[in-house]
Amino acid sequence: MDNAFYYETHIGKIGIVENGTAITHIYFGEILTKDINIIETSLLKKANQQLQEYFTGKRKHFDLPLAPQGTEFQRKVWAALQDIPYGATYSYKDVAENVGNIKACRAVGMANNRNPIPLFIPCHRVIGANGSLVGYAGGLDIKKKLLETERQNA
């Protein structure tokens, strides 16, 4: 059974879920499920510590075991997202190029949308080709705050 714990951050309450060995999900706000133990494990404490360091600009890279579940293509996109430098933004086209399929912009967008571990897999760093903020699981206000936090601390 998975474990989760909720933490208050400057972007609101965040739920972090782990499976005993790796982080599997991040939720904005609370999740209600019978299949998750609400308990703070050492891995969840470490994840929260790194998240708090990220928010203050002390951490630019996360060092956590991650286990996102998805298709091979989704996992490839999520790996590419982790290569986007702190404080930088890429377009969907940039990510498509990085995964080896320039025509996969929409598929990259869908993989971005299905990212189960936002923040640790920084899908907030992907923006529209014209520089506009488009789509984010936590809402565009949170995406904007995350990008501003990174710009201020880069």
The catalytic residue positions are 123
Interior angle at CA 45, CA 28 and CA 147, nearest 5 = 45
- The alpha carbons of the chain give a radius of gyration, in whole angstroms, of 15
For the stretch 68-100, what's the b/e string if a residue is b when 16 or more beta carbons lie within 10 angstroms of its beta carbon?
Answer: beeeeebebbbebbeebebeebbbbebbbbbbe
Q: HSE (CB half, 13 Å, CA atoms) of 32?
A: 0
Distances (CA, A) of 62 to 33, 58, 77, 133: 27, 11, 17, 23
Instruction: Locate 95 and state its tokens.
Output: 């990510």
